[in-house]
A and B are shown apart, each in its own frame.
Chain A
């Protein structure tokens, strides 16, 4: 297709910029200056603004070899497992590094064009589907992974074989308000990490004035050490689609978007096939399941490599073709979301949970949690552990049970020194705090948070200051650059974890604490608020390692 044909194809659709840029990037292998000029004119975006926005995304190349050159994951887990060596071996092919690309249970991922290859060395790279979650080791009743291991699960017949879309059918037979009540009673809350009650969010959008409303699925799973949404979308795509259609019915939304991270190219194909099946079966489209006036159209928007686009304001700006800075809040997306209209932004896991809840009921879901906790959470477990992978745990499960009983414990002859929480955003837990239970109240009382549920295990071989440095480098790389505390703070913390900035321990600690406290108190979004948990927890658990580091800097 010519530039003009691409632009004409997309320009009257919602959220045209990223699809147009991808179409050209796919065709030419890079985005030339001329192409950017044509898009600027065609989509009426000022040239300087478009140019600047293109430079924001990690995966848009502006020269050849671009898209076709290998991108090697040097994320926090992969760099402990050969990522940097593979990058070095592929230098002759113009390989470049990429941050964690969500394959920490099956390393090391290398992106070539639109295919993910994995292997321990450059020679053994192969293209294969991502791992299915292992059968639940605790024999607990699952929600998300309940049927994910069934054969042909990713197809419509496979999904329907275990009652898939049955929840939607019964919901549509009743009122949207009844569905919202059901979700509210289930106590389902945002599984992307923020934990906002899903029923309350849906009701806010249902009640908000303005049309058309939108359901946006946040599938920009960028948190290092998190790969749960990948598993759900790759192996159980219809669970996500059903959840989105349910949300659309509850809120009266007509437009749906799955904002999928760039690093999951195969999943785009899997989701698109599932969407096509659902359209054919009248589960998507107009007058869904024969319900007059229930119209919902679902599209995939592919991201282009920016962790911050997992922040909902940035995600919405990115969809709208704007510079992906977070938005000032309030107003919130429930009233001013996509195109300033009421919008649900939900994580993949949240929406997939809603599908099961619509079938099995609120009380069933609530009771899946231990003690007073409602429901389950998928934990992506990776790093120095016998059996890394995705585990669906009941809220309230002791961390030690997951690590030792479910995942086989540390590697032979090793002990667990620390784990990260919320991917990297929750910093470290170590020492006695490894006795936590997996639920927000408990983990927050230990100065961290569960967030999206990524846990990276670090055993006694690992240099904790280096691990903290890797983590902070990631946040510095991904800071959008809008608010001062995060833009400067992540940089300064990275430097201090690298060479110590020639500081004595007391002065080092003083600077770290001041930067950390200003970042936590004044940053404009969660990235800047969470990043200092890394240094804070390092100081709490490993002051000796820091003193050692400062006396022998790299």
Chain B
């Protein structure tokens, strides 16, 4: 919970029979979430303005005839709320059966994206009868959008509009929106163009928030059939100084994808196109694995580390003797790990006694 400002009013409400405290301005959902009520949602992303579309989060409030969407309803002093009972469970199950009925595929690989398992998990959590409410499927797949990053398989879209909202509210790109209405709604760019012809920056935020895998990480999903479990390793993006937290996805000894860390203090789930997708160099066949020494004719020859280091040290020393400490300017690579970047600045600062050190992706 965030720190409470001094002037915030603390109120009390009854949540499933227990008196609980909350800060004025909080929604019922936020209070329920804090008390681990596990109220189901599909259109909710805590970073976005509450939208109230999926209606799974409805709760009963004493004195109000119909259940209310807890994500859009503010808690008020003395409110008596029930987050779970047979009626609510029945509504949620029916809603989930309805959602399942419009999709062609409710099981997607976890590599599709950060939130891609949300619908699948809810379908397992509630006693959903497969095949109920059979009928027309919604969505119109746009898998021929030839960008290298984002697969747009709207056959699996449930029109929660999280992608549209994250693009507008978090990124400010407004690249996509909702076309048509009713069952024919469709996520689209302007005039239905491909993403690369729109104002999309390929930050991948839409993929990360998609609860069904309708938007899929094209690069990560390549490793779908690679054997092994997906392992997540928390790290910090190497590319710039913001320090976005990321989870590096690996299968075996291979990096297969990157996901933004929703709890990253600097980025809160945001990433840019580089942090999200630019990791191919790690396993690229052109990557140098041995030091090379430039010969007199300009060509390179492979060498052992001892020789290469000796050669480099001689070169650096020569420059310092001839031109002084400030004649050297180090630029660390954006593709180097943080430890290497640290060593580099230590070498320049402590070794040379100069502050002429920078990183290539500071621009």
A495 touches B91 (CB 8 A): no
Binds A, one of B177-185, B203-211, B248-256: B177-185
List residues of chain B with CB within 8 A of the CB of A529: 66
B20 within 8 A of A: no
Chain A 13-57 per-residue mask, 1 if CB under 8 angstroms from chain B, else 0: 000000000000000000001001000000000111111110110
State how many angstroms separate the Cβ of A327 from the closest Cβ of chain B.
9
List residues of chain A with CB within 8 A of the CB of B348: none
A488, closest chain B residue (CB): B98
CB within 8 Å for A515 and B94 given contacts A48-B174, A48-B198, A328-B50: yes
Binds A, one of B32-40, B131-139, B325-333: B131-139
A524 touches B188 (CB 8 A): no
A511 touches B182 (CB 8 A): no
A490 touches B182 (CB 8 A): yes
B98, closest chain A residue (CB): A488
Chain A 513-532 per-residue mask, 1 if CB under 8 angstroms from chain B, else 0: 01101101111100001000
List residues of chain A with CB within 8 A of the CB of B66: 520-522, 529
CB within 8 Å for A514 and B178 given contacts A48-B199, A328-B50: no
A46 touches B188 (CB 8 A): no
In the assembled complex, the Cα of A489 lies from the Cα of B191 at a distance in Å of 28
Chain A interface main SS type: helix
List residues of chain B with CB within 8 A of the CB of A50: 190
A491 within 8 A of B: yes
B55 touches A46 (CB 8 A): no
A518, closest chain B residue (CB): B94
A521 touches B58 (CB 8 A): yes
A495 touches B136 (CB 8 A): yes
List residues of chain A with CB within 8 A of the CB of B58: 521-522
List residues of chain B with CB within 8 A of the CB of A492: 98, 101, 133, 135
B83 within 8 A of A: no
A72 within 8 A of B: no
Interface residues of B in 135-172 (CB under 8 A from A): 135-136, 138, 158-159, 161, 168
B99 within 8 A of A: yes
B111 within 8 A of A: no
List residues of chain B with CB within 8 A of the CB of A51: 177, 179, 188, 190-191
Binds B, one of A361-369, A439-447, A478-486: A478-486
List residues of chain B with CB within 8 A of the CB of A479: 181-183
A478 touches B182 (CB 8 A): yes
B183 touches A490 (CB 8 A): yes
CB within 8 Å for A328 and B52 given contacts A52-B178, A492-B135: yes
In the assembled complex, the Cα of A47 lies from the Cα of B188 at a distance in Å of 11
List residues of chain A with CB within 8 A of the CB of B90: 514
List residues of chain B with CB within 8 A of the CB of A481: 159, 178, 180-185
Specify which of B67, B134, B159, B190 lies most central, judged by the most chain A CB atoms within 10 Å of its CB: B190
| Chain A residues with a Cβ closer than 8 Å to the other chain, count | 46
State how many angstroms separate the Cβ of A320 from the closest Cβ of chain B.
15
B74, closest chain A residue (CB): A330
B101 touches A48 (CB 8 A): no
B67 touches A477 (CB 8 A): no
B76, closest chain A residue (CB): A330
In the assembled complex, the Cα of A487 lies from the Cα of B136 at a distance in Å of 12
List residues of chain B with CB within 8 A of the CB of A476: 182-183
State how many angstroms separate the Cβ of B58 from the closest Cβ of chain A.
5
List residues of chain A with CB within 8 A of the CB of B185: 481, 487
List residues of chain A with CB within 8 A of the CB of B99: 484, 488
In the assembled complex, the Cα of A352 lies from the Cα of B251 at a distance in Å of 71
State how many angstroms separate the Cβ of A345 from the closest Cβ of chain B.
20
In the assembled complex, the Cα of A495 lies from the Cα of B101 at a distance in Å of 13
B177 touches A524 (CB 8 A): no
CB within 8 Å for A47 and B190 given contacts A328-B52, A492-B101, A524-B69: yes
List residues of chain A with CB within 8 A of the CB of B176: 48
Q: Contacts A481-B182, A491-B182 known; list 7 others, CB within 8 Å.
A: A51-B188, A51-B191, A489-B98, A490-B183, A522-B66, A524-B55, A524-B69
Residues of chain A having any CB pair with chain B under 8 Å: 33, 36, 46-53, 55-56, 306, 308, 323, 328, 330, 476-485, 487-492, 495, 501, 511, 514-515, 517-518, 520-524, 529
* 24 pairs from A and B in contact (CB 8 Å cutoff): A36-B190, A47-B199, A48-B189, A50-B190, A51-B191, A56-B181, A328-B51, A328-B52, A330-B73, A476-B183, A477-B182, A479-B183, A481-B184, A482-B161, A484-B42, A484-B99, A487-B159, A488-B98, A490-B183, A491-B138, A492-B133, A521-B67, A522-B95, A529-B66
